[in-house]
Structure 1
């Protein structure tokens, strides 16, 4: 029950709350609700011993005895402590997210093709990349890609494509096109044909061609703008 704590030191005193770790991390990042982050709406001086901090000490230290206000300060400024098993679980999740991001957004500049997931996984091991479970996956990508460049030819890139879908497939397939990237401009002509300029992650280019060709039975036109 007390494997997951958030602690805040004030002088020689420690103030603790028992937390749900995922919700606590989300709250700290401005994405979650305080009530979901707390297991108990109580402030402890020693949670493992079940010792609660007195209202008088809370008032003296935090200028309030409201446990929710104090808990907010602890979550925002304190040290979030979780079990080693949970920390490894989050690290594995972040690793998968980072690998997927790199696979989608990068290419091998020598061949202008995406890196397979297995190659990225091997490069992470070879470069001894450390995943920080306390940071968002995407916020770590730039630094990690720089580390990978020591062992892997890699470039983050985007592709702008001019796409034309015939009327027979346009109504259904232009939504598929939107799923792959950002539509910069689009138009429908009087015959129901759809044309658009789409910016997609560079690593998704082969998959994009494959999916659009399958959905339109090859009845489309895609040209690389840049």
Structure 2
């Protein structure tokens, strides 16, 4: 097994909760490449002080985490605590989180001046210009609000949803039904000739992607209308 044993630590109030983990396996878990939190442990214990071998009390564990289930506690420590990683791992993790944040903003936002989707490249450029720093240990969704606040002076952004009425010719209706469900199918009406009239609602930044998929699936014969 590669990687060395390191101490992952979570603090709540005056209490400290530590676990001994394999550094490489812990990194894999943090980045979603590994699913079982128990598989990263080098010792199946929750410590008060791992260096001294002092175990943490069950009552304090339950008070801090709401449970004494080992896997749940380990997962919490790995995701919310301090996990030592190498500089290379930290840089990779920041870049992955950065890409995820850019994708979230681009897919969910529009330019309020034009109501057009915000291209990912414009979001990335604005983040570079604003010198936005990414926390490698926080989830991307947790950081979106702060990032948007920083880049909004450079790039006007509005988070919005869009509702679209779509009319699909009968020869394409079954094929397109799955696409409509992917994009938040709100209502549907199957007409007597087999055509489909539906309403979908999804983040406004995804409308270009939606139009491309529907047009490709219907050879450009779908009729769409944005609803107020």
TM-score, with normalisation over the residues of structure 2? 0.76
Aligned to 1:84: 87
CA contact (8 A) 2:163 2:227 kept: yes
Q: Structure 1: where are the runs of 5+ without partners?
A: 47-51
For residues 125-182 of structure 1, the C-alpha deviation after alignment (integer angstroms, 9 at most, x for no partner) is: 1112121221211222122112111111111111100111111000001212222x21
Q: Report the 3-state secondary structure (helix = DSSP H, G, I; strand = E; otherwise coil) of the residue aligned with 1:79.
A: coil
Q: CA RMSD in A?
A: 3.3
Match of 1:213 among 212, 215, 228: 215
Aligned to 2:191: 189
Aligned to 2:127: 124
Q: Report the 3-state secondary structure (helix = DSSP H, G, I; strand = E; otherwise coil) of the residue aligned with 1:169.
A: helix
In structure 2, distance between residues paired with 1:141 and 1:38: 31
Aligned to 2:175: 172
CA contact (8 A) 1:188 1:195 kept: yes
Aligned to 1:49: none
In structure 1, distance between residues paired with 2:18 and 2:169: 65
Q: Report the 3-state secondary structure (helix = DSSP H, G, I; strand = E; otherwise coil) of the residue aligned with 1:139.
A: helix
Match of 1:110 among 106, 110, 113: 113
In structure 1, distance between residues paired with 2:203 and 2:10: 42
Q: Report the 3-state secondary structure (helix = DSSP H, G, I; strand = E; otherwise coil) of the residue aligned with 2:220.
A: coil
Q: In the superposition, relative to structure 1, how do residues 200 and 70 fare at CA in structure 2: closer, same or farther (>3 Å)?
A: closer
Q: In the superposition, relative to structure 1, how do residues 204 and 70 fare at CA in structure 2: closer, same or farther (>3 Å)?
A: closer
The answer to whether 1:147 aligns with 2:150 is yes
Q: Structure 2: where are the runs of 5+ without partners?
A: 60-67
In structure 2, distance between residues paired with 1:167 and 1:75: 49
State the Cα distance separating 1:187 from its structure 2 match. Answer: 2.3
State the Cα distance separating 1:98 from its structure 2 match. Answer: 0.8
Aligned to 1:21: 26
73-82 or 114-123: bigger deviation: 73-82
TM-score, with normalisation over the residues of structure 1? 0.77
CA contact (8 A) 2:109 2:159 kept: yes
The answer to whether 1:198 aligns with 2:208 is no
Q: How does 1:32-71 map to 2 (within 5 A)?
A: 32-41=35-44, 45-46=50-51, 53=53, 57-58=54-55, 61-62=56-57
In structure 1, distance between residues paired with 2:207 and 2:71: 47
Aligned to 1:222: 224
Q: Report the 3-state secondary structure (helix = DSSP H, G, I; strand = E; otherwise coil) of the residue aligned with 2:83.
A: strand
